Chains A and B, each alone.
Chain A
């Protein structure tokens, strides 16, 4: 079974600065997908970024980018120019490419606080 670990329960960042959230995972599979989701107080999970394991290039979405290290099984999220609206719980998630479905395994989450 796959596991996802987020070792930072809480992080804080000054507005306009950069912060990196860590995620490691354990799997014996070679083909899979990794995700970062954001959950604001509204409770709705929002997809931030997605990475396919077969792609060596790190995914980027505007101010959000990842550092995907397949051999180290590490998948960190970098948020640049942090904004107050970035404050939320962030979850790292794994999905097997072998499974014909949308079954995600989530990490425990990191609460990000943004200071004005």
Chain B
């Protein structure tokens, strides 16, 4: 069974631009969560989608948004990029609440 796939693995953007990251969950998984990992702030929860609905949202500005499609694939979008948005963005999927989270290898975003 294929694991969680995140694309692209690396991304370099300029301040002010916008970016879209993609996450394909494990087949059959309906929950997809996104986390931001930085050296300064550590791992922080961004949002979670379940059956195309946002179920939870972390404490991030509105520039960070996401969505989930009917096939459970998810995208997250960051608009008006700032230098501080440089981070590793991790996606995780699970069957449900009591099921373990399976993480992808992340997308490393660098904002210059």
Contacts and interface: CB of A to CB of B under 8 A. Distances in A.
Are the chains A and B members of one assembly? yes
B58 A102 contact: no
A84 interface: no
Interface of B: 31, 33, 35, 42-45, 48, 50, 55-56, 58, 88, 90, 92, 94, 97, 100-101, 103-106
A107 B44 CA distance: 10
A102 B42 contact: no
Interface residues of A, number: 19
Contacts, number: 55
Contact of B92 (A100, A102, A105, A108): A102
Given A43-B88, A45-B90, A91-B43, A104 B97 contact: no
A93 to B, nearest CB: 8
A102 B103 contact: no
B105 A103 contact: no
A11 interface: no
Nearest to B100: A47
